[in-house]
Structure 1
Amino acid sequence: RTGCAASRNVRTIAMLTAAVAFAWTGPAPLRVSTRRHRPAVMDDGLVADVVEDGPPAPLEVIQDMSTDIGQKFGPTAPAHPWAKPWTNLYEQEAVQLVKARSQLLKQPLKDDMANDEIFVSKDSIHILKHHGSYMQQDRSLKGKDKAQSYQFMLRLKVPCGEIPGPLYAELDDISNKWGHGDLRATTRQAFQLHGVLKSNLKDVIQAIANIGSNTYGGCGDISRNVMTPPVHFPNNKAYVYCQQYSRAMADLFKPMTDAFVELWLDGEKAHSVEYWQRDIGEFDLDKVRSHDNGNGIITGHPVEPLYGLTYLPKKFKIAFTVPGDNGVDLYINDIGCVVIMEPDGETLKGFNLVVGGGMGRTHKKEATFARAADHLGFVKKADFFEAMKAILAVQRDHGNREVRASARLKYLVHTLGIDSFRTLVEDYHGKAIEPWAPLPPWKYLDWMGWHEQGDGKLMLGINVVSGRISDTAEVRLKTCLRVLVDRYDLDMILTASQSLVLRNIAPADRMTVESTLKEHGIKMIDEVDAITRKSIACPAFPLCGLAMTEAERVQPDINAKLNAVLRKLGMANDDFVTRTTGCPNGCARPYMAEIAFVGSGPNAYQLWLGGSPDQAGRTGQPTSLFKMKYDDLEDTVEPIFTMWKTQRLTADEALGDFCHRVSIPAVEKYME
């Protein structure tokens, strides 16, 4: 492939094929299918949609409203048709139509918030996600108690994971007044607040917005929290550009509807400007967002030029990093961006881009799978925003809206193949994507412990077990952070491994900061065992509606069991990346871990092995142990660790690399 010109024949053939497959005659009415859909893999590996006849029922038909609001391009009228097993022309899954009828993410949520119920309707649940909230119930309760336990989780939008001190203080107060009294750091560098009642939801969201943050974009079928390494190196230009462009993308891909302001702020502007706006004014992102290169990126919608009427098929995740630093799990994102500098180390040259990563899957549904992203190529600094818009437009127009389980960008990249996907992006972009710029090997960096910032101040990374910021009898982390924020005027950055980094600590305060942490029962990183340091878990029970078993609440015990087996085998100095989830949805990125436990039933887990120790470019693989009992964990892993110890090529061959090299079947044979 040598660019747009060289790929024109491929594109022409594909478009002719698409014309036959689509029989395209222009925008058509959309309808909700009454047939049951299940994704399947065809003989050629493409993700297809198998349709099973359901009970006869009248079709609900809604007219394509694109002509009413001036939308020229979008899911029913892609600017560049392309052959694939789905078309989005005549049938879309129900959530797409909920969004289409929502008046740009307002209804029926606006009406539901005005009534006296303690819950919102099914359609509002989907719309509420775009406002940063999930409705939950306490699954530890039964009967009437459970029916009265409706509550709401709020997830903040905090690009780069940055939490200014005043925002932490506000969240601390909010969690005590309106939540469960704790906070949770997520695997995408954001805070979640649990236990908010519907009657308090508006007050909480309003308070968060007025302190200079928001929840808009924390969830939903839009671009979510944009990630970067959790560091503050003001004199390192690569990291500076990494964070600046992360903030810019968070703003560029934000929804433009006034739904958030109308529902939560009574139509008024927030008291404070979002703090991540501070260094992105030079980009003039309103102009960038609406710029039309004539290739179909812009929908023509007067409010949502990029998203159009129905936004994206599903969630969309972006991360930035610098060469060598893979603490963000770059390859699990829809788009991963790597800063490439000129040889002088001061000037930004452009970005390497990876596309098509994602973790979500469903047990025993082979058409759903975890996937590490592919290398798309390099784009120059001047072309970066348009290239990112082009990728988003490709997913908007061609992502699967017929089967929600197959809606992520990873399925589109998998179905088309990276070369055809690249050509399609180039059609929207109007320029060739250049070859991938060579990079040094990746390293999994968590930035724990003390580090110099380069400006005379210090950073301190603090390990947080499974991201839970709370107070217990032994560890009073939540109180301690408030003391440090108030006393030393500190900010913090959340990490992709659910921990946090305190920044801008004066060297003179180092000893008192450390002693304050110890007084509150918080361990310094040299006191934290390596397994715990490299482990993360999703919340799971009791609030997650998808959880099949425990995750966060058993992760400390899992770590203890793993450490016990290592000590028994004389391997106390060995460690690995381990992750636990309560279901296969993959929120804690288990499929990238060297060893992972994926919930498959009550007290049961599917065992995965073989992810990269540096999270670099491959997923692990499932073993045949689909329902490993929790009580059998130590007996299960002991032969795996024994084989690793006795058959590894070198003393430092990582567990994930070893399992990948010898193959999962070989490991299972040894376990017999």
Structure 2
Amino acid sequence: MTNTVKVSKVEILKQKSNFLRGPIDAELTDGNSFFSQDGTQILKFHGSYQQKERDLDRAKAKGEEPNYSMMLRTRSPGGFIPWQLYITLDQLSEKYGNQTLRATTRQGFQIHGILKQNLKTVIADIVHSMGSTVGACGDINRNVMAPPAPFKHKPEYVFAREYAVKIADLLAPQAGAYYDVWLDGEKALTSEDPEVTEARNRAGKGKVNTNIENNPEPIYGTQYMPRKFKIAIAVPGDNSVDLFTNDLSLVVITNEQQELEGFNLYVGGGLGRSHNNDATIVRLADSLGFVPLAEIYDVIKAVVALERDYGDRHNRRHARIKYLLNDWGVEKFTQILQDYYPTPLQPAKPLPEFEYKDYLGWHEQGDGKYFVGISIENGRILDREGLKLKTALREITEHFHLPMYLTPNHNLLLCEVEPDLKAKIQSILDQYGILSPEAIDPLTRYSMACPAFPTCGLAITESERILPSVIERIRALLEKLDLGDQKFVTRMTGCPNGCARPYMAELGLVGSADKEYQVWLGGSFNSTRLAQPYVQRLHIDKLESGLEPLFVYFKRDRLEGEGFGDFCDRKGIADLQAFSASYVPEISESDEKPKSKSSKPKDQRHRVNLSTNIYEQLQQASASRGKSMKEIVEAAIALYLQQE
């Protein structure tokens, strides 16, 4: 099945696992609080990672057993979460988890802190509540993404959601291990489209068969994929799924009658990499052409089969399909693809420019009902002082039975809201401190972080827990430089694997050592351009001194209407580095006394809280008059004091 002779230990393990049953089937009842190293590898295919409570482990004496627990992730094509499933997840997180839920950047939910002894109960409850975790992790097709907006009057969105489910079903594992291990062989009720079943089972059209004959896994075989495989579906102009970062992406193409004609096909995106290893890369997907609707399953199977057969099964850091595109080039990749799908691909259909959309706030669905987008800072659903998001979502879901869609930027949309319920739901959101999108600092609104410490075993340093303070410090620095009205995309990760997609950000912070971050600059607000590495290690205590030269340069040389990411891309990394190297700040890092070359007094900052209504009016005035909010506020206060 594979062209490589030497394979990694994981490949041998997968082949011997009896199609993902062993050794976890035996280890579930072995009395240990943890799975073996082999068990943890197979466990991933079932949607779970074994983790340690790293804060506690660091405080323990040597020789003591680590605090093991499991993270469980849902498989939710297109981000759809039935209300029954959300209630179950909320209850399971309280009873068996760490009392929080986390919305992921691939439109799923994660529960952290599940003990091994409770894992089977939790998975069974999820399945019985219209959910699943199979294929949410592991060397397999992961959760298929689609634009989350539940528009009913825009057919392209309906088609994207429909085919996210169909493609997820097409590439779902078939050998039955998931049900054997977690439900004792009980098969969950499914409603798979017959055309998907037929497409999965039929042989390919090329000289190399996409299917493996007489195998319980007709597409994957006994070794499954060389590494994880990610698919997203977009609609023209809407890049809410970060289209270019996926192994395989599709863009819905409709005709003048708004009928589905087919899809534009992109292959070869991926963001995982390793520090100090130039052989690992971040890469955007290439456009390969247009695929007619009748051929879409065959093309998807062909791409997956090509990666299955040619992907590197020896070096897991070189195993994603992006390396085939990078090593071969598009022309060779397309030629080999014809061995599996012999029909030449048509030229890609023209598309409008892609834009990032988060769908926060209230929107009409197009069928008389509404949906409301809710921001989840760093994806973590919990109750804290002044913001009781978990309680609010529980109350709304239990009372109104609203389904939801998770977004690729770890927010959520509550859907199917009848017009007469809109005010009631908004009242609950207000009661528990859920801010309107206009009241959220744009730096927070367009930021993302991975979980990192204390649960992720790959984390080098902090991410989710410190990003709020980092955003506050960046905002304070911007205000000091009279750039307080700026917004840009900031993303932070605790390691270089890129789970929060920092390499697409206008400002990306990638953990490189304890309290140190590699800085990436120049991605676009609409997530259509890769950022570039600017600084290898910036200590978190030097954040302001590291970023101040960039913001000063941006303020001085930006073009009208130019965003921070576009500015950094236009100037280039070498130019930014040269300016920063020669930059001498007028105010010291401590901001306590002026430099000798300036008699400017200390620029003290004081904060005044405004009501939401006044703040929103101030924002509108700033936009319409072309002045910063600071300028308007100071002028108004000066006028008021004169009148006094």
Question: Could you state the TM-score of these two structures normalised by the residue count of structure 2?
Answer: 0.88
- Give, in angstroms, the shift of residue 426 of structure 1: 2.1
Superposed structure 1 runs of 4+ greater than 6 Å apart: none
Report the counterpart of residue 121 of structure 2 in structure 1.
Answer: 203
Report the counterpart of residue 284 of structure 1 in structure 2.
Answer: 195
- Give, in angstroms, the shift of residue 629 of structure 1: 0.7
1:174 to 89, 92, 112: 92
Aligned counterparts of 2:136 and 2:76: Cα–Cα separation in 1 = 8
CA offsets, 1:277-305, max 9 Å, x none?
A: 4xx62x52111101003532111142111
Contact 1:155 1:190 in 2 (8 A): yes
CA offsets, 1:377-401, max 9 Å, x none?
A: 1100011110000000000000111
Contact 1:426 1:433 in 2 (8 A): no
Q: SS of the counterpart of 1:105?
A: coil
Give the partner amino acid of 2:569. H
Q: SS of the counterpart of 1:574?
A: coil
Report the counterpart of residue 244 of structure 1 in structure 2.
Answer: 162
Give the partner amino acid of 2:416. N
Contact 1:223 1:316 in 2 (8 A): yes
Report the counterpart of residue 640 of structure 1 in structure 2.
Answer: 550
Contact 1:492 1:501 in 2 (8 A): yes
Contact 1:155 1:218 in 2 (8 A): yes
- Give, in angstroms, the shift of residue 235 of structure 1: 2.2
Q: SS of the counterpart of 1:552?
A: coil
1:609 to 504, 518, 521: 521
Aligned counterparts of 1:592 and 1:306: Cα–Cα separation in 2 = 32
Report the counterpart of residue 663 of structure 1 in structure 2.
Answer: 572
Q: SS of the counterpart of 1:661?
A: helix
- Give, in angstroms, the shift of residue 144 of structure 1: 5.6
CA offsets, 1:524-570, max 9 Å, x none?
A: 11110111000000000001111011000011111111111221122
Aligned counterparts of 1:301 and 1:486: Cα–Cα separation in 2 = 47
The unaligned stretches of length 5 or more in structure 2 are 582-644
Report the counterpart of residue 298 of structure 2 in structure 1.
Answer: 386
Aligned counterparts of 1:192 and 1:664: Cα–Cα separation in 2 = 37
Aligned counterparts of 1:246 and 1:300: Cα–Cα separation in 2 = 26
CA offsets, 1:567-616, max 9 Å, x none?
A: 11222221111100000010000000011100011111000001121111
Number of positions where the alignment pairs a residue of Structure 1 with one of Structure 2 = 576
- Give, in angstroms, the shift of residue 147 of structure 1: 2.0
**Counterparts in 2 of 1:314-353, with a 5 A limit?**
314-344=227-257, 346-353=258-265
CA offsets, 1:453-482, max 9 Å, x none?
A: 010011111110000011112211111101
Aligned counterparts of 2:280 and 2:388: Cα–Cα separation in 1 = 41
Report the counterpart of residue 456 of structure 1 in structure 2.
Answer: 368
Aligned counterparts of 2:323 and 2:481: Cα–Cα separation in 1 = 42
Aligned counterparts of 1:613 and 1:526: Cα–Cα separation in 2 = 18
Change (3 A) 1:610 1:301: farther
Contact 1:301 1:309 in 2 (8 A): no
**Counterparts in 2 of 1:424-435, with a 5 A limit?**
424-435=336-347
Q: SS of the counterpart of 1:201?
A: helix
Report the counterpart of residue 42 of structure 2 in structure 1.
Answer: 127
Q: SS of the counterpart of 2:284?
A: coil
Q: SS of the counterpart of 1:460?
A: strand
Q: SS of the counterpart of 1:160?
A: helix
Aligned counterparts of 1:470 and 1:434: Cα–Cα separation in 2 = 48
Q: SS of the counterpart of 1:547?
A: coil
Aligned counterparts of 1:183 and 1:519: Cα–Cα separation in 2 = 21
Report the counterpart of residue 26 of structure 2 in structure 1.
Answer: 111
Aligned counterparts of 2:66 and 2:576: Cα–Cα separation in 1 = 48
Report the counterpart of residue 219 of structure 1 in structure 2.
Answer: 137
Residue 101 (str. 1) matches residue 16 (str. 2): yes
Give the partner amino acid of 1:92. V
Aligned counterparts of 1:593 and 1:483: Cα–Cα separation in 2 = 35
Give the partner amino acid of 1:571. L
Residue 517 (str. 1) matches residue 429 (str. 2): yes
Aligned counterparts of 2:33 and 2:398: Cα–Cα separation in 1 = 36
**Counterparts in 2 of 1:469-480, with a 5 A limit?**
469-480=381-392
Aligned counterparts of 1:338 and 1:642: Cα–Cα separation in 2 = 39
Contact 1:611 1:660 in 2 (8 A): yes
Contact 2:53 2:66 in 1 (8 A): no
- Give, in angstroms, the shift of residue 129 of structure 1: 0.2
Aligned counterparts of 1:525 and 1:147: Cα–Cα separation in 2 = 45
Contact 1:301 1:308 in 2 (8 A): no
Report the counterpart of residue 24 of structure 1 in structure 2.
Answer: none
Residue 185 (str. 1) matches residue 120 (str. 2): no
Give the partner amino acid of 1:498. H
Aligned counterparts of 1:297 and 1:500: Cα–Cα separation in 2 = 37
Give the partner amino acid of 2:11. Q
Aligned counterparts of 1:267 and 1:293: Cα–Cα separation in 2 = 31
1:562 to 467, 474, 477: 474
Q: SS of the counterpart of 1:414?
A: helix
Contact 1:537 1:552 in 2 (8 A): yes
Report the counterpart of residue 499 of structure 1 in structure 2.
Answer: 411
- Give, in angstroms, the shift of residue 364 of structure 1: 0.4
**Counterparts in 2 of 1:383-462, with a 5 A limit?**
383-462=295-374
Aligned counterparts of 1:417 and 1:656: Cα–Cα separation in 2 = 28
Residue 91 (str. 1) matches residue 6 (str. 2): yes
Q: SS of the counterpart of 1:482?
A: helix
CA offsets, 1:486-537, max 9 Å, x none?
A: 1122111111111111111112222221111111121111110111000000
Change (3 A) 1:378 1:294: closer
- Give, in angstroms, the shift of residue 340 of structure 1: 0.4
Give the partner amino acid of 2:567. F
Report the counterpart of residue 532 of structure 2 in structure 1.
Answer: 621
Contact 1:475 1:520 in 2 (8 A): yes
**Counterparts in 2 of 1:24-103, with a 5 A limit?**
74-75=1-2, 87-88=3-4, 90-103=5-18
Report the counterpart of residue 293 of structure 1 in structure 2.
Answer: 204
Aligned counterparts of 1:484 and 1:235: Cα–Cα separation in 2 = 25
Report the counterpart of residue 55 of structure 2 in structure 1.
Answer: 140
Contact 1:358 1:371 in 2 (8 A): yes
Contact 2:84 2:130 in 1 (8 A): no
Aligned counterparts of 1:323 and 1:338: Cα–Cα separation in 2 = 7
2:149 to 231, 245, 262: 231
Q: SS of the counterpart of 1:147?
A: coil
Q: SS of the counterpart of 2:263?
A: strand
Aligned counterparts of 1:103 and 1:602: Cα–Cα separation in 2 = 40
Contact 2:232 2:243 in 1 (8 A): yes
Q: SS of the counterpart of 2:414?
A: strand
CA offsets, 1:88-112, max 9 Å, x none?
A: 1x20011111101111001111111
CA offsets, 1:49-103, max 9 Å, x none?
A: xxxxxxxxxxxxxxxxxxxxxxxxx21xxxxxxxxxxx41x20011111101111
Q: CA RMSD in A?
A: 1.2
Contact 1:326 1:442 in 2 (8 A): yes
Instruction: State the percentage of identical aligned residues.
Output: 44
Aligned counterparts of 1:212 and 1:513: Cα–Cα separation in 2 = 25
Residue 153 (str. 1) matches residue 66 (str. 2): no
Give the partner amino acid of 2:215. P
Give the partner amino acid of 1:141. L
Aligned counterparts of 1:147 and 1:360: Cα–Cα separation in 2 = 31
The unaligned stretches of length 5 or more in structure 1 are 1-73, 76-86
Aligned counterparts of 1:203 and 1:500: Cα–Cα separation in 2 = 26
Aligned counterparts of 1:488 and 1:354: Cα–Cα separation in 2 = 40
Give the partner amino acid of 1:290. N
Contact 2:503 2:531 in 1 (8 A): yes
Contact 1:314 1:407 in 2 (8 A): yes
